[in-house]
Amino acid sequence: MSGKNGIVILGIFAADTAYKAKRLPHIAETLIGSGFTLGPGGKGSNQAIAAAKAGGKVTFISRVGNDPFGEMALAAYAAAGVKANVMKMDGVSSGAAFIFVDEMSGDNAIIVVPGAAGLIGIEDVDANRAEIESAAIFMTQLEQPLEAAIHGLTMAKRAGVTTIFNPAPVRAIPDSVYGLCDFIVPNEVEAAELVGHAIETDEQARAAALTLLDRGARAVILTLGARGAYYHTADQSEFVPAFSAGNVIDTTGAGDAFLGGFATAISEGCAPVEAVRFGCATAAIAVTRPGTAPAMPSRAEIDALLP
């Protein structure tokens, strides 16, 4: 990694309010749920905590409000060992998310309000230039404004930092973004939106990965839920099966767990396919527990699951 080390993640914090029920209510209907949890969330924040708990040296760039949810965020980073380059803002709330969890399957549906983190801009990236340029890995997503994500990816790429881009929640992105991605990592729903066709079969996954590669990404990883993940580059294609670590309770943080584990393994010099396996193991443990950040496994737990 040419003297570079650690992982820098740009993203949002949102307090996760998770409600477990048989189904979503209809308009004007009230349902009695079977469970509730409150904890730290947001894709970037979850990924930072997952990476740190997996053994990575992590810096997280974000904004929170000067409120109880913001205090929750900072406490979570301190507990996980994440360096928090996080601006506290007066007069604006921290991000928050409504999460419906199906009590039978563990599947989820989410509404996220970025709050303070929705004000992240290129100035937040510029303020962290030294850390980004000296990192082994820079990773970001699309919950904060697109221009901040692009600015971070551009800065990292120019400095020779390995870039990981999680295009979630999915939206239209300029084709120029793909060329900034050493690894682009969508799930099957996000990838389908980007390429314009369903991803239900292995052949459809290969076709989607090829499309994203043709747009300029150096490597594509499709996370496929219970099917595992698919890694594709110009000269290598491999399906990596999911691990089983017990009964699936809550899939909400699975993608973030995968990305945190994957980034940690890449930062340590692992070959990409081995890093995908490490990410799959991280996710497999996380889905056996409720919540997002609190569900992320320790390095010892991940190592124990890997053969």
182 in active site = no
How far apart CA 26 and CA 262 sit, in angstroms, is: 38
Of residues 67, 90, 256, 303, which has the active-site annotation? 256
pLDDT digit of tens for each residue in the chain (307 aa)? 457 999 999 999 999 999 999 999 999 999 999 999 899 999 999 999 999 999 999 999 999 999 999 999 999 999 999 999 999 999 999 999 999 999 988 888 989 899 999 999 999 999 999 999 999 999 999 999 999 999 999 999 999 999 999 999 999 999 999 999 999 999 999 999 999 999 999 999 999 999 999 999 999 999 999 999 999 999 999 999 999 999 998 888 999 999 999 999 999 999 999 999 999 999 999 999 988 899 999 999 999 999 8
Report the alpha-carbon angle 237-260-45, nearest 5.
140
Q: Which residues pair with 220 in a beta bridge?
A: 184, 232
The helix/strand/coil state of 175 is helix
Assigned CATH class of 7-26+34-305: alpha beta
Specify the residue for token string 């962290």: 128
- pLDDT for the residue 81: 98
pTM to 2 decimal places = 0.93
Strand order in the sheet with 237-240: 83-89, 58-65, 7-10, 137-140, 162-165, 183-184, 220-223, 229-232, 237-240
The helix/strand/coil state of 294 is helix
Backbone phi, psi, residue 41, to 5°: -150, -155
Measuring CA to CA, which residue among 120, 115, 111, 61 is closest to residue 85?
61
How far apart CA 45 and CA 112 sit, in angstroms, is: 13
